[in-house]
Structure 1
């Protein structure tokens, strides 16, 4: 969303009345009082109360129908981007990224399906880009379109790109199901179009953060330590099996680190196959309702509000942030105890 200041225009009106006297043919001049017109009231700049789009373009501007259909050879329509059912699945949206998706109406990956994805993330960093480029999810071929541009060439109905430019990082993918052929030039044309627009954009808008705010973290211990997992949900000898890094990163070039978004999964080296799951997204409370399904149960006295969803995970809204915890076989009380630890570790103090 963009906000514009409307400058106040002040117009001074001066009225001078002249009276002409006829007696003795002498003109008598009388000045009327000078009255200034009231100043226009400046329109206040809207104050953000939640996450806002920080990218100065739209999906339609990036890929209008007249371009995307010849590019893919398919009749595509815009659709809403789907997210995973946990806080960091909304990490791109939380920091104000533009997330676009077009589809021919068939589920992504299904026979005959064609889906196009574009993500433009504000304030992507060199470190985050390099980590992606050199990690499991990178591996693109350098492009001549611009510096830090890479192509992912079509293979079995797949192609795309990713790049870093001043103020932004972006990625785009064309995904076709069985029987779908992506035109050989699609990735190159796709990159040229999006890079040409994004590289010319003005700087991103400011990032919204609530006050007070959850601290967030960049590692698993910032969510819960092994000792805390054992004490709350009984996960003994816990070790990290997945974290919000590398191939498991849930945001483009780890841009969710701008707010401290992070998630971890621990497994036990003990006799069971138990695990525990924790995620935090500071400032992401607005997205929690997306995972509230039929049958959810409210939990009182935790954070600002809390509920257990149909999947058994506990979701907590606190300081405009969203915390989610889950553990194999855990009771409600155990999940509440773990959530309280995570909130405390992230600086939450209930007022």
Structure 2
């Protein structure tokens, strides 16, 4: 036959396990002891478990987010140890009772209370120590979490700085590309304007019924067979020059010069030649060419104000 454990013994054993039970840290057989005791309807133990669990749940909420001082852990552990020793001393000390007359044999409920009484002082001292330990563990845990968050923020900051550097580099590349594109657009616009002006000059000259024509011949400094023609619209002075047989390629272009009777040399057109040595220039003069001396020279700068090299073509008389 199974031995029946006195109720007081069950209450005392479950009381020793209450703290661990509140943390779900008991083995299965120990948890069964506490559950059996709670099933008997012990309101004190249920109240204590509820209190401990509410304290455990609130510990993280009461911890400020700051770095834990190194001495805090040692101080808390010293205080916890002191509380444990003080509780043990109080539990071991005899409780003085006033002298009284002999009482009749206690009833069954009184016997149970007498058996359960000795564990209460030590039990509450142990509970206080457990709460203090949980608080210390919570502080240390939050410190670890906070340090981890700081480390994560450092990593995120480094990643953000790297992203900003990449974006800035991309912006610089985009600005260079934009500037290059703007220059290309400007060059294309200038070529388009020049082509339109050239076509206008050609139409103006070729569509005129009154033209002045001047022939040019190559000099000894030009390839054999070089020649050119100047066609002038006598109404407004617009002219075009058609050249052929000049030296193709190389840098620079050719300048058409008009030599006045006073000895001045006036540049009136700058033009390029293709790989075949053919070129077309245009411009505008005041009045007619008449008998003015005309030459063509090769120049590297279209803004030159006087010939810098020998004549390649001159007016054919």
TM-score normalised by structure 2 residue count: 0.20
Structure ranking higher in helix proportion: 2
Q: Which has the larger radius of gyration?
A: 2
TM-score normalised by structure 1 residue count: 0.19
Structure number with higher relative contact order (C-alpha < 8 Å, ≥ 6 residues apart):
1
